[in-house]
Structure 1
Amino acid sequence: MPVATPTLAELREVCQPQAKIESRNGEHWAGRLYMRRLSLRATRHLVRTSVSPNTLTWAMVVAGVGAGAALLIPGVAGALLAALLFQGFLFFDCVDGEVARWKQQFSAVGVYVDRLGAYLADAALLVGAGFRVAETASVAWVSVGMAAALGIVLLKASTDLVDVARTRSGLGTAATEESTEIRSTRVNSVRRLAAAFKIHRIANGIEASLLFLVAALVELGTGGHVPTQIAVAAVAVVAWLMVPAHLFSILSSSRLR
Structure 2
Amino acid sequence: MSAPSVAELRRVAQPAGHLERRNGEHWAGVLYMRRLSIYVTWLMTKTPVTPNQLTWIMTVAGILAGVVLALPGLWAAVVAALLIQVYLLLDCSDGELARWTGKTSLTGVYLDRVGAYFAEAAVLAGLGWRASEVLPDWHTVLGFAGALGAILIKAETDLVDVARAKGGLTAATEASVGQFRSGLLGLGRRILGATKFHRIVQPIELSLLALATAVIDLALGDLTATRVLLYACVVAACLQVVLHLVSILASRRLA
TM-score higher than 0.5:
yes
Aligned counterparts of 1:74 and 1:255: Cα–Cα separation in 2: 44
Write out per-residue CA displacement over residues 161-186 of structure 1, whole angstroms, 9 at most, x where no aligned residue.
112112221112x2222110142222
RMSD: 1.6
Q: Identify which of 21, 36, 39 aligns with 1:38.
A: 36
The structural deviation recorded for 1:188 is 1.6
TM-score, normalized by length of structure 2? 0.94
Relative to the length of structure 1, the TM-score reads: 0.93
Matches within 5 A, 1:51-62: 51-62=49-60
Assess if the C-alpha contact under 8 Å between 1:136 and 1:225 holds in 2.
no
Query: What residue number does 1:103 align with?
Result: 101
- 1:71-90 map, 5 Å: 71-90=69-88
Change (3 A) 1:233 1:44: same
Which blocks of at least 5 consecutive residues in structure 2 are unaligned? none
1:112 partnered with 2:110: yes
Deviation at 1:83, TM superposition (A): 0.8
Aligned-partner Cα distance in 2 for 1:251–1:14: 37
* Correspondence list, 1:30-179, <5 A: 30-135=28-133, 139-172=137-170, 174-179=171-176
Give the distance between the partners of 2:19 and 2:167, measured in 1 at CA. Answer: 28
How far is the alpha carbon of 1:140 from its aligned partner?
1.0
| 8 Å Cα contact 1:182/1:249 also seen in 2 | no
Alpha-carbon contact 1:100-1:106 (below 8 Å) kept: yes
Distance in 2 (alpha carbons) for counterparts of 1:246 and 1:92: 28
**Percent of aligned positions with the same letter in both sequences?**
50
Q: Is the 8 A contact 1:166 1:256 kept in 2?
A: yes
Which residue of structure 1 aligns with residue 22 of structure 2? 24
Number of equivalenced pairs = 254
Look up the SS of the partner of 1:188 in the other structure: helix
Any idea what the Cα deviations from partners look like across 1:135-165, whole Å, max 9, x if unmatched?
3687111110011000000001111111211
> Does 2:18 correspond to 1:15?
no
* Per-residue deviation, residues 98-139 of structure 1 (Å, max 9, x unmatched): 101100112333222211111111111111111111136871
Runs of 4+ in 1 over 4 A off after TM superposition: none
Instruction: Give me the whole-angstrom Cα distance separating, in 1, the residues matched to 2:47 and 2:121.
Output: 32
